[in-house]
Amino acid sequence: MIAVLYGVLILTGVIIGVTGLSDIVLYNIVDERLRIIKQQLAIKIKDPEQLNRAVEELKQELIRAYDLDKPWYARIPRIIYQIMVLDLGTSRSTLSFSGSNKVADIILERIPNTVLMVTTAVLISSLVGLVVGLWSATKVGSLLDRFTSLISAISYSLPTWWFGMVVILVFAYELRLFPSGGMTTPGLTITDPITRFLDLLWHLFLPVLTLFVALVGSWIYVTRSIVISITKEDFIVVGRAKGLPERVIRNRYLLRNSAPPILTNMILGLAGSITGAILTEAIFNWPGMGSLYYNAILSADINMILALTYIYTLVYVVARFILEVLYVVLDPRVRY
Amino acid sequence: MSLLDVKNLKIYYFTLKGVVRAVDDVSFNVREGEVLGIAGESGSGKSTLGYGLMRLVPPPGRIVGGNIVVSGRDIVSMDEGTLRREIRWKVISMIFQGALNALNPVYTIGKQLVEPIIFHEDVSLKEAYERAAEMVKLVGLNEDVLRRYPHELSGGMKQRVMIAMALILRPKIVIADEPTTALDVVIQAQIMNLFKKIKKELNQSIIFITHDLSLIAEIADNVAVMYAGKIVEYGNSDNVFNTPKHPYTQGLLKSIPRLKSKEKLSWIPGTPPDLRNPPVGCRFHPRCPYVMDVCRREEPPIKDVGGNHLVACWLY
């Protein structure tokens, strides 16, 4: 697991280095700074030759400062090392809402926003999917089961961005029931916490609805197929033959054995939700982790990309670890 | 009076491609302490018959006719609740084919053995565990398997646990559906000895379903030979094995290799029929060496050829 964590980080670093992205970005920074400095120096130094020499000197200095005189494989490891010890560095393109350009500050500010929207949606859709999928699996082939399967197939194939836009069109522009984006009403001056909370919920409704509709189908389907596959196991027939009440067969035989795979999906889903939902966040202008990553890539903010990749992998690895521990409790076949 | 009376039992599978007559008009009975062997190829309906006796035929299968009378009560018409509480496992229990998957992987052997006692009888947990321990010893296992999980046991041990579980409520009849198929030959011999011991010591009635005639010869008092959903020959095992009457039984016995005989090994040509659309007349006629005109037209009735030896063949 640790290998995965560092492997992903190093791989991202290597990709950024090999493709020359890192060089290009850093040279751009150097050039931009030089241009500004040149203007300032031009006021003091009148002789053009002297000016050029001074600028050239500064340029070499900057190149050394950014380690551009060394190849990428000498430069990137330092960034990676810093990130490994959670010194995430500074962002070049984004500021936190309080004005800090430290990556750690920005991420810490964004995580609660994402948890509020994406994790809530994942939680609701997984719970609904669990109940509906289970119920559907006990009535395989019935009309209601086929109807649920149809609904979940539609939900599964629905593109989030399209559905999100439809939702905005209907609820925000036509019906004017909900805001079309953002987290708070701009210019809201009331500081009463209850009003602020209600305002937040009001803004939360549409994005959560969109994500819910897009996610719930796969949850229903996955749960349903896991439970159906366990239903076909011999020990279920044995349970029936033993004359045990249906309730006992369902709880002790069916659900108990379906729990590990279902839990795997849930925990990985919840963990994944912390990393945000790029499209939904973009459509609803939600300042979360997804849009942060998207912007970091657009502006080639290397520190930010590396830091976010690291955080994402970290979240995944921690979730996996929690799962491994849970397996020991849930499944007696797993021992360490 | 016999313990179990099966009359004209019909179990059909209603598939999209047609009705499969897996068990068609089957009758037999089992006395107290009797071991009845049911023999037949794969697809002859013998396992379906086993599940049918517990009314556990998987959908789309259904019992469409006949009676299964156990100690005077008909299982076929009984409501599900009564069947579950009063018949399943208490009167008829079953040892399953795939013993390897028949145990719930997440609970200890002890818990699974105790489960039926707790749900069927008014017994304290402690007493139930004592009974489980006793039963486990009877089937030749150490008491501490009760604390173990299924995955910690070998195939043979699991099958012993399954046998202990089937016997734990001291049911009147145990159905053993291919109980040794998944095991290697040495373990198979051990399990067969265990069955003999159970028969002798507990005077247990057993319905022993297998495709292996030699196993039936070892243990059964009576034999029913099934072909394409029907019983073609039924009688005392000595009679059936020494003087087989039905051409199918004769063919089956000739296809068993023998060490001391110089006779050439023969087989039955052809394959078992498609049960969605069985041959008209005798179902065995396309493969039968003695086929006559009447076989192609009419189904042979089951007839006593003397000494409670029943055969369904136009030759007699």
Per-residue pLDDT for A28 more than 70?
A: yes
Answer for the pair B150, A233: CB distance below 8 angstroms, yes or no. Answer: no
Q: Do the beta carbons of residue B102 and residue B96 sit within 8 Å? A: yes
Contact B87 A257 (CB under 8 A): no
Q: Which of A238, A243, A333 is the closest to B151 by Cβ? A: A333
CATH topology classification for B4-91+171-311:
Rossmann fold (3.40.50)
Which region among A234-238, B38-42, B225-229, B258-262 has the lowest average model confidence (pLDDT)? B258-262
Give the strand pairing for B303-304 and B230-236: unpaired
Check: CB of residue B20 under 8 Å from CB of residue B28: no
Q: Mean of the pLDDT values across residues A142-152?
A: 89
Mutate one of A235, A252, A257, A333 to test the B interface: name it (highest B CB count within 10 A). Answer: A235
Q: Which of A197, A261, A246, A218 is nearest to A129 (CA)?
A: A218
If asked whether residues A164 and A306 sit together in one domain, one would say yes
Q: Which comes out higher in pLDDT, residue A62 or A222? A: A222
Q: Is the pLDDT of residue A193 over 90?
A: no
* Span of A176-185, A263-272, B128-137, B170-179 with lowest mean pLDDT: A176-185
Give me the pLDDT at residue A56, please: 82
pLDDT at B1: 63
Q: Domain count for chain A, please give it.
A: 2
**Interface touch A331/B106, C-beta < 8 Å:** yes
Contacts of B103 in chain A (CB under 8 A): 235, 238
A79 & A152 share domain: no
Chain B residues close to A257, C-beta within 8 Å: 104-106
The verdict on A31 and A116 lying in the same domain is no
Helix axis angle for B125-138 and B109-120, nearest 10°, is: 120
The answer, yes or no, to whether residue A91 has pLDDT greater than 90, is: no
* Least confident piece of the model among A156-160, A178-182, B102-106, B121-125: A178-182
CATH code (residue A295): 1.10.3720.10
pTM of the model: 0.77
Tell me whether residue A92 is in a domain. Answer: no
Q: Is the pLDDT of residue A100 over 80?
A: no
Q: What residues in chain A have their Cβ under 8 A from chain B's Cβ atoms?
A: 233-235, 237-245, 248, 252-253, 256-257, 330-333
Task: Look at residue A331 in the predicted model and tell me its pLDDT.
Answer: 82
Residues of chain A with Cβ-Cβ distance to B83 below 8 Å are: 243
Q: Mark whether A65 and A136 lie in a shared domain.
A: no
B105/A238 touch (CB, cutoff 8 Å), yes or no: no
Of B96, B98, B106, the CB nearest to A257: B106
Q: Which of A84, A116, A137 is the last residue of a domain?
A: A84
Q: Could you tell me if A162 and A37 lie in one domain? A: no
Clarify whether residues A188 and A289 are in a common domain. Answer: yes
Question: pLDDT (tens digit, 9 = 90+) per residue, A293-323?
Answer: 888 888 877 778 888 888 888 888 888 888 8
Which among B58, B89, B101 is the nearest to A242, CB-wise?
Answer: B89
Residue B35 pLDDT grade (very low, low, confident, very high; cuts 50, 70, 90): very high
Query: Is there a single domain that holds both residue A65 and residue A138?
Result: no
Q: CB-based contact (8 Å) between B96 and chain A? A: yes
Q: What is the pLDDT of residue A127?
A: 92
Q: Is A295 among the domain residues?
A: yes
- Predicted local confidence at residue A132, as pLDDT: 92
DSSP B57: P
Query: What was the pLDDT predicted at B99?
Result: 61
Same domain, A65 and A125: no
Residue B81 touches partner A, C-beta closer than 8 Å: no
Specify burial of residue A34 (Cβ count, 10 A radius: 0-12, 13-18, 19+).
middle
Averaged over B52-63, what is the pLDDT? 88
Whether residue A59 is found in the same domain as residue A158: no
Tell me which residue range forms the domain holding A10. Answer: 2-84
pLDDT at A226 over 80: yes
Q: What's the pLDDT band for B38 if we cut at 50, 70, 90?
A: very high
| pLDDT for the residue A46 | 75
**A243–B116 C-beta distance less than 8 A:** yes
**How many C-beta atoms surround the C-beta of residue B179 within 10 A?**
28
Does residue A190 belong to any structural domain of this protein?
yes
Domain identity same for A58 and A183: no
Q: B314 — contact with chain A (CB < 8 Å)?
A: no
Confidence of residue A275 (pLDDT cuts 50, 70, 90): confident
- Residue A234's closest chain B neighbor by CA? B102
Q: What is the mean pLDDT of residues B8-31?
A: 89
- Let me know whether A207 and A79 are in one domain: no
B78 touches chain A (CB under 8 A): no
Residue B77 has pLDDT above 70, yes or no: yes
| Residue ranges of domains in chain B | 4-91+171-311
Nearest by CB to residue A233, choosing from B88, B101, B107, is B101
ipTM: 0.84
How near does any CA of chain A get to the CA of B122, in Å?
Answer: 14
Amino acid identity of residue B126, one-letter, is K
Mean pLDDT of chain B: 88
- Rounded to the nearest integer, the mean pLDDT of chain A is 83
pLDDT at A212: 92
Q: What is the pLDDT of residue A123?
A: 92
Q: What does the pLDDT read at residue B205?
A: 92
